[in-house]
A = this chain, B = another copy of it.
């Protein structure tokens, strides 16, 4: 039984972590919930209890396991303090993902990376998790050479407020009313835009480079090449991905289906006779990453096209973190 803390407990990911801790009967001795000062004095429900929100400055022992999902700045600012508690920190932010001494883990892909942790473990970016959960079994067979990926990312990646804002702006649009945004940087009702993470000197945005650097770290192969284009679409909480994957050796579509049908965390979803493949509404609230319409690429040998959809808040974030915790405590 563990002393567990959730930092960022009022956020979209934190709320899913609390729900999963309950649903999966995680062995909790005590549960503490942390959020920013503006949530002080409020409570979050957990099972039959109301857990009071605390601020991180009130952190105190005993603590065994800390889910850290309050953004990169909090992870960086509190890293030294958090380490003093000798708890295991599962950090869902991007703050330390590129630190070679810190494991970056998808349990279905590289669980061995957990063997040598020193108390701090990073959860990968949501788009990376969804992509690699599907590509890893194929990589194990035919070795990935190059990935071209275009994403269709939901509002949830920017949090609860972005999801609410999308709904509110859509309502206003349909009513012919004006709407003032506070979270999303661009009009979002019936509109989409290139991912708004910071633009880097090489013209890729941070989110796109995460797909490159995290893939190389997780698969322990710095030769893999990734060209990513990340796009926010007016969807509430599931990400979709159009993936063109080139391998070093031949890999037939049939073999890919065979591998993915038995792959942990992956579910093939398709009804070809109905031209029906995974959609965001299929993945909503579901654990697996859905994949369908795997094609032998027409334009290049040793290449497959895959369509992937997953719940950004679950396998893309909270579920992956819980799975890491389960591996470490199980």
Contacts and interface: CB of A to CB of B under 8 A. Distances in A.
A231 B233 CA distance: 12
Given A174-B170, A204-B298, A281-B191, A244 B227 contact: yes
A307 interface: yes
Q: Which of A167, A193, A292, A296 has most B Cβ within 10 Å?
A: A193
A40 interface: no
Contacts of A51: none
A119 to B, nearest CB: 33
Nearest to A187: B281
Interface stretch (A11-19, A131-139, A144-152, A321-329): A144-152
A99 to B, nearest CB: 22
Nearest to A171: B174
A203 B196 CA distance: 33
A54 interface: no
| Dominant secondary structure of chain A at its interface with chain B | mixed
A194 B293 contact: yes
A255 to B, nearest CB: 15
A235 B174 contact: no
| Most B-side CB within 10 Å, residue of A190, A203, A253 | A190
B203 A253 contact: yes
Given A190-B236, A272-B199, A226 B279 contact: no
A113 interface: no
A234 B235 contact: yes
A330 interface: no
A202 interface: yes
B300 A227 contact: yes
Given A187-B279, A203-B253, A227 B192 contact: no
A300 B146 contact: yes
A316 interface: no
Contacts of A311: none
B281 A227 contact: no
Interface string A187-211: 1001111101011001111000000
Contacts of A262: none
A120 to B, nearest CB: 29
Contacts of A233: 152, 192, 233-234
A297 interface: yes
A196 B227 contact: no
A43 interface: no
Interface string A268-291: 000010011101110000000000
Given A187-B279, A234-B235, 13 more contacts: A148-B148, A148-B244, A152-B192, A166-B190, A170-B174, A186-B279, A190-B281, A191-B235, A191-B281, A193-B279, A194-B307, A226-B299, A231-B242
7 contacts: A146-B300, A191-B279, A191-B280, A202-B295, A203-B294, A204-B295, A233-B233
Interface of A: 146-148, 150, 152, 166-167, 170-171, 174, 185-187, 190-194, 196, 198-199, 202-205, 212, 225-227, 229, 231, 233-236, 240, 242, 244, 253, 272, 275-277, 279-281, 292-300, 303, 305, 307
